[in-house]
């Protein structure tokens, strides 16, 4: 079976795999692409409950681009000669020359999604329509047992199965985060409160609403606000954009700032004490939660264009605001109770629809990994410990490894969800699984040295001996 939904021969799963991947998003797709064709072969299987590959379909807004260059595809930064590069995808579509003349370093999101689907439809060993239910360690067989449910096209259970494997890689991704005050409204049927992950599915409803409120100051919030602004009539935009952050701030995109998304910084961050990592993460929000400078410029240009004939657009942009509570007004409107964090003032906003660009959280895997719980090691905050090679720290009696993708920000830093590190992390995992180095990785990737080199303390000189300074003035 190659990258499609359908029956999976059971005897194929009775033979132990070298590697089983749970989830097929960009990160595990990267791993599958780099594993394909390894010298000596690697027996792999990847399971995904969705019927086909889709990457943030609700946010494939026309014109929206990736925030990383096209070189941050599934494989290039580990193996630029791979048949699964973005450039090879373009070649297969006879689009290399148009791309060459377009001179686009940052491609559109929709094109990245199409590229990933091209890979997913051609790689062997990808099993869509398969929901992984549990992962356990079998000490007698010294293998992991991966139980799954095969789903029919409607998502209903069709058959049960089990795969055995020496190693597991969890790449289940993240899920939309809805703040507690807005959960009851977002969960209630018929209430126009949507997460930005579903924006395109509800775009017509939002455009038809009399007044719309966008909540969230990151890239998704900016793109949704800009799309709505462009589509609503001048002078009657009737749109609010609210955010908790102190400003609608640009993402850090300086050349040296980007070195926080290198393997060098990842290694540095991982080596820091746990309490230092915990304190550092919230302070780095602008590295990954800010807004692309081009998007900020496009918003300002659109607002400015609407002042050319006098007057101001009916658009309110207010940072530094949190939603305390929210409720229904009659049957058609939503009332937001707001607090300005700096002023300490409170007010109410009545709106016809709300779009929540409030980000994502790691998808819980506690239930799936319940069978591994006796073997898992946790940090002081109860989070899974992850070693430098992206392996969950397990009891030494477990001879296999469980690797994670995009579930290790607390141990590896801001680069965990970044597409630019996907190929490097996949190569690191494959080097670990094979015990060899099929993908030689660079020893140095940044000009910045993020910490001081540790040196032995100089010995105390004997009486009358001159002490040589470590640093010459």
Q: Which domains does the chain have, with CATH numbers?
A: 4-173+363-434 (3.50.50.60), 176-251+289-359 (3.50.50.60)
pLDDT above 90: percentage of residues in the chain: 88
And the tokens for 211? 């007044």
Q: Report the C-alpha gap between 179 and 240 in whole angstroms.
A: 18
Torsion sign (Cα): 250, 251, 252, 254: negative
Does the pLDDT of residue 302 top 70, yes or no? yes
- Calculate the CA 470 to chain-centre distance: 43
pLDDT digits (tens, 9 = 90+) for 64-74: 999 999 999 99
Does the pLDDT of residue 472 top 50, yes or no? no
Which among 94, 75, 165, 114 is positioned nearest to 438, based on CA atoms? 75
pLDDT of residue 330: 82
How deeply is 102 buried, as exposed, middle or buried, from its count of CB atoms within 10 A (0-12, 13-18, 19+)? exposed
Does the pLDDT of residue 6 top 80, yes or no? no
| Entry field: residues in the chain | 473
pTM of the prediction? 0.92
Does the pLDDT of residue 90 top 90, yes or no? yes
And the tokens for 299? 């918003």
Query: Are 315 and 237 contacting, i.e. CB atoms less than 8 angstroms apart?
Result: yes
| Mean pLDDT of the region 91-116 | 97
Does the pLDDT of residue 462 top 60, yes or no? no
pLDDT band at 453 (very low <50, low <70, confident <90, very high): confident
pLDDT digits (tens, 9 = 90+) for 377-411: 999 999 999 999 999 999 999 999 999 999 999 99
pLDDT digits (tens, 9 = 90+) for 146-181: 999 999 999 999 999 999 999 999 999 999 999 999
Supply angle C-alpha 369, 374, 375, rounded to 5. Answer: 80
Q: What is the mean pLDDT of the chain?
A: 92
pLDDT of residue 41: 86
| Mean pLDDT of the region 217-232 | 96
And the tokens for 283? 């302070």
And the tokens for 347? 């007010």
333-340 vs 174-176, strand pairing mode: unpaired
pLDDT of residue 456: 56
Query: Are 211 and 289 contacting, i.e. CB atoms less than 8 angstroms apart?
Result: no
**Kind plus residue range of the DSSP H or E element containing 323:** strand 321-329
Query: For the chain, first and last CA: distance in Å?
Result: 67
From residue 369, give the alpha-carbon distance in Å to each of 5, 361, 432: 25, 18, 21
pLDDT band at 466 (very low <50, low <70, confident <90, very high): very low
């Amino acid at each position: 079976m190659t990258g499609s939904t359908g029956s999976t021969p059971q005897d194929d799963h009775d033979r132990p795999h070298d590697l089983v991947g749970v989830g097929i998003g960009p990160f595990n797709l990267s791993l599958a692409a780099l594993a394909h064709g390894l010298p000596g072969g690697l027996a792999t299987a990847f399971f995904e409950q969705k019927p086909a590959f889709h990457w943030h379909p609700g946010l494939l807004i026309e014109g929206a681009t990736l925030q990383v260059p096209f070189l941050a595809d599934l494989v290039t930064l580990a193996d630029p000669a791979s048949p699964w590069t973005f450039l090879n995808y373009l070649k297969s579509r006879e689009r290399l020359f148009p791309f060459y003349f377009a001179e686009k370093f940052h491609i559109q999101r929709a094109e990245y999604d199409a590229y990933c689907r091209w890979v997913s439809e051609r790689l062997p060993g990808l099993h869509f329509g398969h929901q992984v239910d549990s992962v356990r360690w079998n000490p007698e067989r010294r293998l992991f047992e991966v139980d799954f449910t095969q789903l029919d096209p409607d998502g209903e259970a069709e058959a049960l199965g089990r795969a055995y494997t020496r190693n597991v890689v969890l790449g289940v991704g993240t899920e939309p985060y809805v703040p507690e005050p807005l959960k009851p409204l977002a969960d209630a049927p018929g209430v126009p409160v949507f997460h930005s992950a579903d924006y395109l599915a509800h775009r017509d409803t939002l455009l038809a609403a009399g007044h719309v409120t966008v909540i969230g100051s990151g890239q998704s919030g900016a793109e949704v606000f800009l799309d709505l602004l462009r589509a609503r009539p001048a002078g009657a935009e009737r749109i609010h954009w609210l955010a908790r952050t102190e400003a609608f701030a640009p993402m850090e995109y300086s050349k040296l700032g980007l070195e926080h998304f290198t393997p060098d910084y990842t290694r540095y961050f991982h080596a820091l004490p746990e309490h230092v990592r915990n304190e550092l993460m919230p302070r780095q929000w602008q590295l990954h939660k800010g807004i692309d400078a081009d998007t900020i410029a496009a918003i300002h240009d659109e607002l400015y264009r609407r002042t050319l004939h006098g007057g101001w657009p009916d658009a309110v942009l207010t940072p530094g605001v949190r939603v305390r509570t929210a409720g229904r007004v009659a049957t058609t409107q939503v009332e937001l109770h707001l607090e300005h964090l700096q002023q300490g003032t409170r007010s109410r906003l009545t709106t016809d629809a709300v779009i929540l660009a409030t980000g994502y959280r790691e998808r819980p895997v506690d239930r799936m990994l319940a069978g591994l719980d006796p073997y898992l090691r946790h940090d002081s905050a109860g989070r899974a410990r992850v070693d430098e090679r992206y392996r969950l720290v397990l009891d030494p009696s477990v001879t296999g490894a469980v690797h994670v993708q995009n579930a290790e920000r607390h141990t590896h830093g801001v680069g965990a969800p970044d597409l630019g590190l996907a190929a490097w992390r996949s190569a690191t995992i494959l080097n670990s699984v094979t015990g060899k180095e099929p993908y030689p990785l660079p020893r140095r990737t940044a000009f910045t040295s993020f910490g001081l080199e540790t040196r032995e303390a100089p010995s105390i000189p004997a009486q009358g001996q001159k002490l040589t300074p470590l640093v010459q003035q």
